[in-house]
Structure 1
């Protein structure tokens, strides 16, 4: 008798990014994963070691240690112009868990969840796991959100997911676009979920938090990218009291609490020296320039990435496959939705030397 599984789980696929990464051959250059190649700053590691030595290794309160929630609120006020109370913050196992519990708490069976397409691979899957119906929000030719098309989809929707700077596009949405979307969503009783994990990696522009322009907003962030702490699994969400009150139930039963040691490390991240964040941003900008010049030089035309550490490049699937076979891991656009099958994402979160080597191999496939 065949095994039976949940239709919600059986109906989704393993991330296309992970599939390609796992299938990569030896000697491949990885431009696939969004994984910073920097080490976690030493003062953050020292705080984790101190927490272990001091025996701070037990459960914490469900929503996280008070010191960290207070530090997050200070960060919101100083950097984003957002006013949250520590009781309106839940510390999670990365931004991934924050997204998961928001979907579980707010989405009912059949609810429409508006997701950028192309967009981060988790949005559609998490909406589906919650019983919702993901709906593609198309991007304009410059890879920014098409505001008018997004507005046209909002009637009857439950959530609108925003991601700026964007993955996989590298696009940074303007103040005007963010404000227009948040205000229109409020009129339509649509909750905005704002994924801001790349906020510190912007090259010339400015980050605008959606929560600046309305109250029906859930702000999601993490230490993962900002402080090169992907493996520490430390994120958080902030939202109005009534939303937090429902999200904490899901968090309690699926996670209990974020790792205690990571929480104490994150306090040091937010309250300590921020110099390395600027160092990483400047290096990512230099790498962006390398990959943009290199790809433009062989005839690939695309908007210069404004943020994050991704280039989203027009490329036919067969060309992307040949590049992968040449030993450069990139991710076809089909992994990010249905609207960009003839694109590929290249991550420049790797060394300049690796980028130069990868560009040589790409040239050998494309010419130029």
Structure 2
């Protein structure tokens, strides 16, 4: 029997998606990182208008110029990143940006430092590119921050890149300004590329988001529209890369997806240029849900850091796999922490992107388990 490539055999399907596939008709799904809000009307209208205008053909591989100009302006004014439309590629989600970046940069045997617990695609993309993941332990006692002094100890002559994520999935952790500057300094001092996943940038509570590309040119900034604008199904993301890397990253993007869907690019443009009220309202509601979940979990005696961003909480408990199994029997879908790396052991993840009412019911179920 024909066997798949070894690099494919070395990775597993997403544990998040495995749990998602177990969702029944009456289940409360706290496994998937998807806002339960509708995409704002003006964004949906942009798709209808583009369809009526016949905007249904290929675009340039990098994306339409209007969208790349809007992204460049956003990065310059909001994130204080000096970039231009020529350094921006519109991708199929932020995951597409991650895949293209890692495959363009990493050679066989190169090491890439990744956060652990961290988003499942980081390790997978590194392995698919032929690289080796070096896991940076994000600790509860440090609010799951990626600390520069600890990262520096993991840098070797084979290190090619560092992947960072703030606000973070699955932890909700947010890096401080000094963390960001420290990681940027490491990238500069050791001639590394810092791949900064900023997809949860706008979903932050009482903190400020900092982009490492403000402090270093050795940064690929990755972002998108799925979380901020409840556009998960549109699959639109982007990356801003150093000019000398853009063409090589474009090669991977071009030969894997050609271009991002034309209609969805128009939707992304409307998201950036239209009213931002929905973002503020959504973040306010996420904060309310966070407070409910953290309060209820702590009331049950479960150790739980308070997330400062994103819409996840990663509580610590003995035998979380048993909790996940028992909750599933009662139609509450959670994700074991080991889905996010070896240092996720002893944890489980809750996505509080579900409705407030569903979260209340789910907390009642967890409390009834008496674990």
What TM-score, normalized by structure 2, do the two folds share?
0.97
Q: What's the CA shift for 1:290?
A: 0.6
Q: What's the CA shift for 1:243?
A: 1.0
Distance 1:91 1:269 in 2: 14
1:309-320 matched pairs, under 5 angstroms = 309-315=311-317, 316=319, 317-320=321-324
Residues 116-125 or 140-149, more deviating: 140-149
Q: Which of these residues, 306, 328, 336, is aligned with residue 340 of structure 2?
A: 336
Work out the number of aligned pairs and report it: 366
Q: Which of these residues, 313, 335, 348, is aligned with residue 352 of structure 2?
A: 348
Unaligned runs of 5+ in 2: none
Residue 252 of structure 2: aligned partner: 250
SS state at 1:70 partner: helix
Unaligned runs of 5+ in 1: none
Q: Does the CA contact (< 8 Å) of 1:193 and 1:218 recur in 2?
A: yes
Distance 2:316 2:328 in 1: 15
Deviation above 3 Å: which 4+ runs of structure 1? none
Distance 1:366 1:135 in 2: 37
Distance 1:311 1:154 in 2: 29
Q: What's the CA shift for 1:20?
A: 1.2
1:360 equivalenced with 2:359 (yes/no): no
Q: Does the CA contact (< 8 Å) of 1:154 and 1:185 recur in 2?
A: no
Distance 2:103 2:344 in 1: 28
1:205 equivalenced with 2:230 (yes/no): no
SS state at 2:112 partner: strand
Q: Superposition RMSD on alpha carbons, in Å?
A: 1.0
Residue 58 of structure 2: aligned partner: 59
1:104-137 CA deviation, whole Å, 9 max, x = no partner? Answer: 1000001101100000000000100000001101
Q: Does the CA contact (< 8 Å) of 2:297 and 2:304 recur in 1?
A: no
Distance 1:221 1:21 in 2: 24
Residue 85 of structure 1: aligned partner: 84
Distance 1:134 1:363 in 2: 37
Q: Does the CA contact (< 8 Å) of 2:58 and 2:259 recur in 1?
A: yes
Distance 1:310 1:207 in 2: 17
Residue 125 of structure 1: aligned partner: 124
What TM-score, normalized by structure 1, do the two folds share?
0.98
Q: Does the CA contact (< 8 Å) of 1:154 and 1:190 recur in 2?
A: no
1:78-97 CA deviation, whole Å, 9 max, x = no partner? Answer: 21111211000000010011
Q: Does the CA contact (< 8 Å) of 1:310 and 1:347 recur in 2?
A: yes
Q: Does the CA contact (< 8 Å) of 1:138 and 1:150 recur in 2?
A: no
1:168-199 CA deviation, whole Å, 9 max, x = no partner? Answer: 00000000001001101211111000000000
Q: What's the CA shift for 1:325?
A: 2.3
1:212-232 CA deviation, whole Å, 9 max, x = no partner? Answer: 110000000001101000000
1:156-235 matched pairs, under 5 angstroms = 156=157, 157-235=159-237
Q: Does the CA contact (< 8 Å) of 1:111 and 1:133 recur in 2?
A: yes
